[in-house]
Structure 1
Amino acid sequence: MTTDPTAAETAVLRYTVKPDHLDRHLRLLADVYAELDRLRPARFSWATYRIPGSRDFIEIATGHPLPGPLPGLPAFQRYRADLDDRCETRRFDNVTLIGAFGSA
Structure 2
Amino acid sequence: MHVMTRCKIKPDEVEHVLELLGAVYDELASVQPDGLRYATFQLEDKVTLVSFVELQDGPEMLQQLKAFQRYRTSLDQVCDEPPVTTVLHEIGAYRFH
Q: Same fold (TM over 0.5)?
A: yes
Larger Rg: 1
The reply to whether residue 40 of structure 1 matches residue 32 of structure 2 is yes
Give the percent of matched residue pairs that are identical in Structure 1 and Structure 2: 30
Instruction: Give the C-alpha shift of residue 103 in structure 1.
Output: 3.5
- AA paired with 1:91? V
Instruction: Determine if the alignment matches structure 1 residue 55 to structure 2 residue 57.
Output: no
Whether 1:28 and 2:20 are equivalent positions in the alignment is yes
The offset of 1:68, in angstroms, is 4.5
Query: Between Structure 1 and Structure 2, which shows a larger proportion of helix residues?
Result: 2
Say if 2:80 is the partner of 1:88: yes
The runs of at least 4 consecutive aligned structure 1 residues that moved more than 2 Å come to none
Structure 1 position 67 matched with structure 2 position 64: no
Normalised by the size of structure 2, how large is the TM-score? 0.91
Unaligned runs of 5+ in 2: none
Number of residue-to-residue matches in the alignment? 96
Any gaps of 5 or more consecutive residues in structure 1? Answer: 1-8
Q: How large is the RMSD of aligned CA atoms in angstroms?
A: 1.4
Alignment check: 8 A CA contact 1:49 1:58 kept: yes
Shift of 1:62: 0.2
TM-score after normalising by structure 1 = 0.85
